[in-house]
Homo-oligomer: A and B are copies of this chain.
Amino acid sequence: MDKVKVIEIKKSVYESNDREADMLRQELKSRGIFLLNLMSSPGSGKTTTLKQTINQMKNEFKIGVMEADIDSDVDAITIAKETGVKSIQLHTGGMCHLDAGMTKQGLDELIENDIDFAILENVGNLVCPAEFDTGATKNAMILSVPEGHDKPLKYPLMFSICDVVLINKIDVMPYFDFDMDECIKNIKYRNPNATVIPVCAKTGEGIDKFADWLREQIKANI
């Protein structure tokens, strides 16, 4: 099995996460690094989406990935093996989210590899990760069709703070009571400015639109 670096991250020592996050964002901008924070429920397809996206963009950018999990290294190994980009595993030691200080512990390792596009795959959780600014340039989330179109009503903060919402697993829409129009309406109710992109990470459908969105954001950040 491929080996990936595993970092057991420590609790942050900073008193104000918001301040630390702003400082990290500024530092990344001055170094010309774009940081994407990707969030979702467990099993919504974060790793598969990243695989497809990275394979479309890795010839244009020097990409590095941080996979945050409470336990297990399977995601970092998958990314390393199937995309070839630098991938590290962050073990949160039971913690349900990452904050800016924790993100920085992973970034220090990626920056040594001279990357310009860093991706943080956050812990699978629609609640806590929304409460902690990681210092990311942009926040993205995935809502998958089987979870249902009512989720923006139940997890308001997550949908409010994300710049882009991917609606994943659209290939199985015929088998679920999922109303796409209602879903987009619910997302826009929480966040009128959110970009919504339906995708199927398994087949790659729609991932080109997400890659285009990312290219625009990265360009705007320089």
Contact = CB atoms under 8 A, between A and B. Distances in A.
Categorize the interface residue count of chain A. Answer: 20 to 34
Contacts of A124: 41, 126-127, 154-155
Contacts of A144: 43, 146
A125 B123 contact: no
A23 interface: no
A123 B109 CA distance: 35
Q: Which secondary structure dominates chain A's binding surface? A: loop
Given A43-B146, A172-B146, A175-B172, A70 B123 contact: no
A70 B156 contact: yes
Given A128-B96, A150-B74, A43 B41 contact: yes
A69 B128 contact: no
Nearest to A149: B43
Contact of A146 (B70, B71, B146, B150): B146
A82 interface: no
10 contacts: A42-B126, A42-B151, A42-B154, A70-B127, A72-B154, A74-B150, A94-B131, A94-B157, A124-B127, A146-B169
